[in-house]
Structure 1
Amino acid sequence: MRADLGDLQAFLAVARAGGFREGARAAGTSASGLSEAVRRLETRLGVRLLHRTTRSVRPTEAGARLMERLGPAIGEVEAALDVVNGFRDRPAGTLRLNVPVSAARLVLPRIVPPFLAAYPEIRLEVIAEDSFVDVLAAGCDAGIRYDERLEADMIAVPIGPRVQRFATAAAPAYLRRHGRPQHPRDLLGHACLGGRFASGAMIVWEFERGGEVVRINAAGPLLVSAGAATDLAVAAAVAGTGIVALFEDWLRPHLDSGALEPVLEAWWPSFPGPFLYFPGRRLVPAPLRAFVDFIKAAAGPTTSRQG
């Protein structure tokens, strides 16, 4: 049974986005065009692929099965067609990256503008989320993650700062009212502005000094979702509501301005920086290949590794 590749891509765009309007925005087309393409595909296959309501669009069981197999397959087709890019003077096409919010904020701003200036025919699409996803199934070419969350059988290329620190800070007014913690366990008596991962797990604050590691289940008046609402926790800390724990680079502007002061700085743990990762068992699309070469050149001599 034959189906038009464009109709399959339309179905995938709608299913991933959870709606025709959202899918149209992601695909750069019209909602009516996607609707017609999906209707045409369902007619050709003789089965309903999407449940449509006034509030949402979600795959049927058949649609979910198709989506599961179609994502990687479409990716392979696009990669195969991308071989033609090797015969162009300059790489062209779309590069889709799935990255944590911290990378979108702290790593990519220094890389993206000069990269797009160097490759004007490449369109970069960045999906920022902190849930761990299969980049191929999500329709992305590559992702950015930290070492402990890299998938197996992936090529990993260092990107961004190679060493980062996790910092704790509070407003001067808060420290005047409540005192300055001298040991991580003192935080148990303070107003901590905590976070929760997309999985629902609470973020544990970890400290290290001289080989001693202390983990604190931070509790206080405010709990935010990691990434998406982190700036709210920072704003609350600046306003004197409590103590915030976050990437040092995220807090650095407020530390430099004096709006926040370091807390327990001698205990701030350091950890390796993030990696750009992508499958090593498929053709590398020309836009991704250009991006990898660009970050390697910017970083100087570095080594890639197999995950």
Structure 2
Amino acid sequence: MNDPDLSDLNAFVAITKVRSFRAAARLRGVSASALSEAIRRLEARLGVRLLNRTTRSVTVTEAGQRLLERLGPALGEIAGALDAINSFRDSPTGTLRLNVPTIVAMHVLPPIVARFLAAHPGITLEVVSNDTFIDVLAAGFDAGIRYDERLERDMIAVPIGPRTQHFVAAGAPAYFAARGRPEHPRDLLEHACIGHRFASGVLAAWRFERDGEQVRFTPNGPLVASVMELEVGAATAGLGMIYTFEEFLRPAIQSGALLPVLHEWWESFSGPFLYYQSRTHMPAPLRAFIDFIKED
């Protein structure tokens, strides 16, 4: 039996992490058919089935699980050894994969990414926007960016971007002319409020606080959406009030299309964090990014 190719073994590990040929192909930048061919070669050389494949799922066989248990640490050591050489370069090379919320992708990362890639031309950055909490390592990412209440305890967190952010309540001038301005968050119960539903299916609550008094309720109004551009457009059209990240509303507020209200009640919270798992051999692109944001 010929020894299996290292790239085929890597393909096998990548597929088992996400349980999908297509998802693994996207993460590795290859076609699903190329990964399928790699698994076919690997199974032929080993003489056993490693994966059970249907049109809807990919599961690991008992033989595949046994191989995976021994293979994962070994490939990690190989990757670490190769990447240790990368640290001797003037500028490291390789791919850095990040999973981040939409707000971060749109309003936090752009200026950071531009400067980072200019300083490290050998690095390719892949950013996937995701507003649900996932296991970033299992999904094939090197690190994630999330807000503090969603950080896993066994992760290392590094601040990135603004350290304080706000939710802002606002409405169109025409809306306030017709309905009046709320003077207290409780007044919002009598107003049309545009709701935001997360990918998880949860409808975002509106929370306000001032001098120890807290008000929290589920918005009720003519529109519930999961696309911020649609929600902001509805608010500027006068369909109802909106309450979301200040960054999403800033252009409309600056142009006068939206008017902020209840300023003293706005929710404030700490900015996002880059989080990653402590590893003996950290990939050089990730180390470069961590060093960059610490110095930025």
What's the TM-score once normalised by structure 1's chain length?
0.85
SS in 2 for 1:132: coil
Q: Distance in 1 between matches of 2:107 and 2:68?
A: 32
Superposed, 1:265-284 pairs within 5 Å as: 265-284=263-282
Aligned equivalent of 1:59: 58
What displacement does 1:25 show? 4.3
Which of 282, 286, 289 is 2:287 aligned to? 289
AA paired with 1:273?
G
Residue 156 of structure 2 is aligned to residue 158 of structure 1: no
Deviations 1:227-259 (CA, angstroms, capped at 9, x unpaired): xx1221111111111111111112111110111
Aligned equivalent of 1:209: 210
The runs of 5 or more residues in structure 1 that have no matched partner are 299-307
Aligned equivalent of 1:89: 90
Q: Distance in 1 between matches of 2:223 and 2:6?
A: 48
8 Å CA contact retained: 1:164, 1:270: yes
Aligned equivalent of 1:243: 241
Q: Distance in 2 between matches of 1:92 and 1:165?
A: 37
The runs of 5 or more residues in structure 2 that have no matched partner are none
What displacement does 1:284 show? 1.7
Larger radius of gyration: 2
Aligned equivalent of 2:133: 132
8 Å CA contact retained: 1:71, 1:136: no
8 Å CA contact retained: 2:99, 2:141: yes
SS in 1 for 2:125: strand
8 Å CA contact retained: 2:21, 2:36: no
SS in 1 for 2:39: helix
Aligned equivalent of 2:49: 47
RMSD (Å), alpha carbons? 2.6
Q: Distance in 2 between matches of 1:97 and 1:295?
A: 14
Q: Distance in 2 between matches of 1:162 and 1:210?
A: 22
* The 10-residue stretch of structure 1 (66-75 or 254-263) with the greater mean CA deviation from structure 2: 66-75
Deviations 1:7-37 (CA, angstroms, capped at 9, x unpaired): 23334555638444x6444422344322211
Q: How many residues align?
A: 291
Residue 149 of structure 2 is aligned to residue 145 of structure 1: no
Q: Distance in 2 between matches of 1:142 and 1:72?
A: 19
Aligned equivalent of 2:224: 223
8 Å CA contact retained: 1:167, 1:245: yes
8 Å CA contact retained: 1:205, 1:245: yes
Aligned equivalent of 1:303: none
AA paired with 1:213?
Q
SS in 2 for 1:60: strand
